[in-house]
Amino acid sequence: MTLISNMIIPILVLIIIIHGFIKRIDLYDEFVKGAKSSFPMITTMFPCLLGMILGVNIFTKSGVLDWFFSFLKPIFSYWKIPFEILPMIVMRPISGSSTLAILNGLFKKYGPDSLIGTIASVIQGSTDTTFYVLTLYFGSIGIKKIRYSLYVGLFADIVGIVSAIIITSMLL
């Protein structure tokens, strides 16, 4: 299986080269033309992406999360929800890569088959990076009125999180 996964991209590149050779397409010129046409898109998306990265770093390094977590710990204890998944719940709408790191840490500490690992996995699969999507994609095409999209995205995230906790707790 590892051999197959390591060979997929080189095989795809080889198929593209063979196809271009058969169709008599100058692949290098087409590649350069495509790279040149991507620069306007990059210059449009870069400020939005930079702003999002800066915002996530400020949010995570400021200590706001620790304060927020200490406020929510009694609520989680009362409802018998594993407190260890709270960082994932908070960060999931903001950053996909940070929640993957959190998920990996939960797997290492509790195991993927534990209640915490299973709930975290279901949350990862049933929610989206709402703020990231709104900031990057909406910002790059100039949409300013995102209020209803934000409401729907966060509502869907909440439904995914609550469903993950309830269904996983019932099944395990």
Check: pTM over 0.85? Answer yes or no: no
| Residue 18, in any domain of the structure | no
17-46 tens-digit pLDDT = 999 999 999 999 999 998 898 888 888 878
Would you say residue 77 lies in a domain? yes
Whether residue 14 is predicted with pLDDT greater than 80 in this model: the reply is yes
Residue 36 included in any domain? no
Domain assignment of residue 120, yes or no? yes
What is the per-residue pLDDT for 32?
92
Residue range(s) defining the domain that contains residue 122: 43-171
Q: Is residue 1 part of a domain?
A: no
Residue 164, both tokens: 């993950």
**Per-residue pLDDT at 151 exceeds 80:** yes
Structure tokens, 142: 């100039």
8 has pLDDT over 80: yes
Is 88 domain-assigned?
A: yes
Question: Would you say residue 10 lies in a domain?
Answer: no
Domain count, the chain: 1
Name the residue among 76, 134, 69, 70 with its Cα closest to residue 102.
69
What pLDDT does residue 126 have?
95
Both tokens of residue 12? Answer: 């795809």
Measured between alpha carbons, how far apart are the two ends of the chain, in Å? 30
> Residue 11 domain-assigned?
no
